[in-house]
Amino acid sequence: MASASDSPGKIIKLTKRLRSSATPQVFFGDVIYAPGGTCGPRVQMDFQIVTLLEGEANVTMAEHTLHLAAGEMALFWPGRRELFRFATGRKTHHTWCSLRPEFVPPALATACRQAPAKVRLTRRFEQVMELGLSLPRAATERMPGLIESLGLAALHEYLFAAAGAEVTTAEPDALRRAIEWIGAAGHERTDLPTLAREAGVSPAQLVKLFKRHLGTTPLRHVWTERTRRGVQLLRETGLSVAEVADRCGFQSPFHFSRWVRSLHGAPPRTVRAQAWAAAK
C-alpha cells in the first residue's frame, strides 16, 4: 500500500513500528495514517488486498469511488489509477497484501478481476494476514515460499469470502442458520423441531426452504453431511467404524453403514479399503 514510489508528503504519518514481510513477489504491510492522510494518485502495479481495521477510506479510480469502512477489505487490480483519502477526523489503520501480476496464476487473476470490489473482512483472512506480518525477517531469506504461499492464500480467501457473501445473499437467513448449525453440531442428536428452533422458523417452513433452495429435506441434508464427514474420517484416520459413527452423530454403526451404502454403494470398511489401496 505504501510503496517506495510514494512521495514523503503523501503519507501523513506511519506507525513507529511498521510491520511487514516481503519477497520480490509478495508484500505484507501494516500502517496507520493520521487524520486526513492520503496515498496517491498512483497507478496500481499489483493485485492488492487492502483491509480496514480502524477508520475509513475513499478510493477514487477512473470509473468510480469506492468507500471502505472498518471491517471491510477491497481487492485492487494492476493498471488502474488510484487515490486513497483516509478519514479526516480520526486515524486509519489498515493492512495490505500485494502480489506481483506475473506471480498470480492466470485462472486466479481472472477470478480476481471478476470478484466484488469489496467484502466483509473474515476471521480467516485476519489470520492469514497476521501470519504474513508476524514472520521473522529470516523467512524472507531462508523460506520465501512461505511468504508467497500466504500471499496466494490471501487471494483465495478473499475469493472464498466473496463467494460466501453471494451465497448468504441468495439464501434466506433461516436456511443459512440451519446449515451453519448442522456444520457446527455435527455430532449432536437432532430432529426436525430442534433444527427448526435453531433456524428460527417452524418445521414446515424449514422443510419448504430446504426443498426450494437445496432440493432436499432438512434431515436428509443432516445425514448426508454426516455421512460425508464420516467417509472423510474412514479415509484419513484409523478410527474404527463404530468410533466414526459415534463421532459423526449416528445412532449406531449400523445406521452409519446404511447411509454409507446408500450414498457410496459400499459398506464403510470397503470404502476405507478402496481409499487406502488406491494410495499405495
Residue 257 belongs to what domain range? Answer: 173-278
Query: Do 157 and 179 belong to one domain?
Result: no
Query: Do 144 and 56 belong to one domain?
Result: yes
Q: What is the pLDDT of residue 16?
A: 45
Query: Do 28 and 140 belong to one domain?
Result: yes
Query: Do 225 and 201 belong to one domain?
Result: yes
Say which CATH number the domain at 215 has.
Answer: 1.10.10.60
Domain boundary among the residues 170, 185, 203 is at 170
Q: Tens of pLDDT along 194-216?
A: 999 999 999 999 999 999 888 99
Q: Tens of pLDDT along 153-198?
A: 999 999 998 887 544 444 578 888 888 888 877 678 889 999 999 9
The answer to whether position 2 is within a domain reads: no
- Say what the pTM is: 0.64
Q: What is the pLDDT of residue 25?
A: 95
Q: Tens of pLDDT along 227-243?
A: 999 999 999 999 999 99
- What is the C-alpha to C-alpha distance for residues 134 and 125, in angstroms, rounded to an integer? 14
Q: What is the pLDDT of residue 105?
A: 95
- Judge whether residue 257 has pLDDT over 50: yes
Q: What is the pLDDT of residue 165?
A: 55
Averaged confidence pLDDT in the chain: 87
Query: Do 13 and 118 belong to one domain?
Result: yes
Query: Do 74 and 104 belong to one domain?
Result: yes
- What is the C-alpha to C-alpha distance for residues 237 and 164, in angstroms, rounded to an integer? 29
82 Cβ neighbours under 8 A, 6+ residues apart = 40, 41, 42, 43, 44, 59, 60, 61, 76
Query: Do 154 and 110 belong to one domain?
Result: yes
